Amino acid sequence: MKPLKSYNPATGDLVGEVPITAPDDIPGIVERSRAAQPAWEALGHDGRARLLMQAAESFLTRADELGRLITLEMGKPLREAIGEAKSLADVKHELEEIQEALAPETFEDGRDRSTVYHDPLGVCAAITPWNFPMAMPAWMVLPALAAGNTVILKPSEETPLCGQAYADVLNEKLPADVLIVVQGADDQGKRLVDSDVDLIAFTGSRETGKHILRAASRDLKRVILELGGKDPMIVLESADLEKAARFAAHNSFRNAGQVCVSTERIFVPEAIADRFEALLVEATASMTQGDGLDEGVKVGPMVNEHQRNHVLSQLEAAVSEGAEVLAGGSGHHDNFVTPTVLTGVTEEMSIATEETFGPVACVTRVESVEEAVQKANATHFGLGAVVFGEDGERTTQVARQLTAGMIGINKAVGGGAGTPWVGARQSGFGFHKSKDGHRQFTQTRVLSKAV
């Protein structure tokens, strides 16, 4: 079987290669993982946490090396890539949160004393995306391992080197077969989903998530799915327009728009639209594009030709259907799509309804806040949403009308420590982070005795 080769999306140069896992080998890999699980569980939380903390120290000392690999393999600016690598070391709070979430709880009502335990499920499959090729594996692998499960990780075929490097650091500290990597694409992913695993954690497209859910239903496997988004941003007349425009540019173009909670639809009242659009164009001009290894670059390439073609197809269709280009819109080359601002975007355009996952900011003018809310909610998705406004009570009222799982007011959607990362509608099934999120990697059991 030919190796899986990985190419730099900015230059086309070969970055490296890994052996592809034969699909027929996956049942045996699952058996190895299951055989390793009882001893891993027997270490207890403290024993497992100690090994995971040792690995976290290695991530910090190797952050520059790992960050460079992220940039080479998927294209994001080096500063952001190193930040992603450093985040892998910040596990102390999460491990403490997991311990608290999974601690036994006792309930007594005068007749019975019941203890609720959160035991490991067994073997977890983690199928991870390419846009955050080390952070997203960590979101699944860390809580699964800390809970006492063993894990089989299948990183994206677009970033196999990053996935392997992440697992290699952990495996320097972990016992054999506690974390096993499967490399490949659809065939390996499907075989893993169909195998004798107990939980499937997946981040990726809505359509792939639907396939996984259907396949998992045959054995009623547990699933955690973080899927696509079409995140709206509503700018109220009370908003600080300069701040709103800077945020819109950053959140539309960060990681070349290849973020699940990128701002993909912007709704602005007519009364302030001219000013907001001018400020957005001005902010877009500062988004320097180029090879992520170059100094000062803020926007890198699309991860591959397929993703570039998808974005350009949506752009071309929108312009042909009446959208106006305010910035960018041309100069695209190789895997680079120029950061582009469109106005006059309507709900009939595919760019207003289908996930873009590229550096395009789409502005729609509205006559009222009610119209903005209605259009923001007119989607199958519901991952994140943002509202900008300086009238606190009114801004909060608008935010509470949005159907997304996470809503940011004058900021991005990420919440404080301990809050879940959760999608509504077809953007998610289950969620990451938080005590409730960590418990999804366990089987709840209730042991009751008569008082």
Digits of tens for pLDDT over the chain (451 positions)? 799 999 999 999 999 999 999 999 999 999 999 999 999 999 999 999 999 999 999 999 999 999 999 999 999 999 999 999 999 999 999 999 999 999 999 999 999 999 999 999 999 999 999 999 999 999 999 999 999 999 999 999 999 999 999 999 999 999 999 999 999 999 999 999 999 999 999 999 999 999 999 999 999 999 999 999 999 999 999 999 999 999 999 999 999 999 999 999 999 999 999 999 999 999 999 999 999 999 999 999 999 999 999 999 999 999 999 999 999 999 999 999 999 999 999 999 999 999 999 999 999 999 999 999 999 999 999 999 999 999 999 999 999 999 999 999 999 999 999 999 999 999 999 989 999 999 999 999 999 999 9
- Candidates 91, 35, 85, 23; CA nearest to 60 is 85
Give the span between the Cα atoms of 321 and 173, in whole angstroms.
56
Residue 431 φ then ψ, to 5°: -160, 170
Give the span between the Cα atoms of 322 and 326, in whole angstroms.
13
pLDDT of residue 271: 97
Give the span between the Cα atoms of 237 and 244, in whole angstroms.
11
The DSSP letter of residue 175 is P
Give the span between the Cα atoms of 302 and 277, in whole angstroms.
25
Token pair, residue 324, equals: 């106006």
Q: Assign 26 to helix, strand or coil.
A: helix
Report the catalytic residues.
226, 260
Q: Does domain 231-414 have CATH number 3.40.50.300?
A: no
- Candidates 270, 335, 348; CA nearest to 299 is 335
pLDDT of residue 174: 98
The DSSP letter of residue 427 is G
Three-point CA angle 267, 313, 72, nearest 5°: 95
- Candidates 230, 193, 188, 187; CA nearest to 211 is 193
Reported pTM: 0.97
Homologous superfamily of domain range 4-226+424-450:
Aldehyde Dehydrogenase; Chain A, domain 1 (3.40.605.10)
The DSSP letter of residue 444 is E
Burial class from Cβ neighbours inside 10 Å (0-12, 13-18, 19+) for residue 111 reads exposed
pLDDT of residue 1: 79
What is the residue extent of each domain of the chain? 4-226+424-450, 231-414
pLDDT of residue 316: 97
Give the span between the Cα atoms of 130 and 293, in whole angstroms.
18
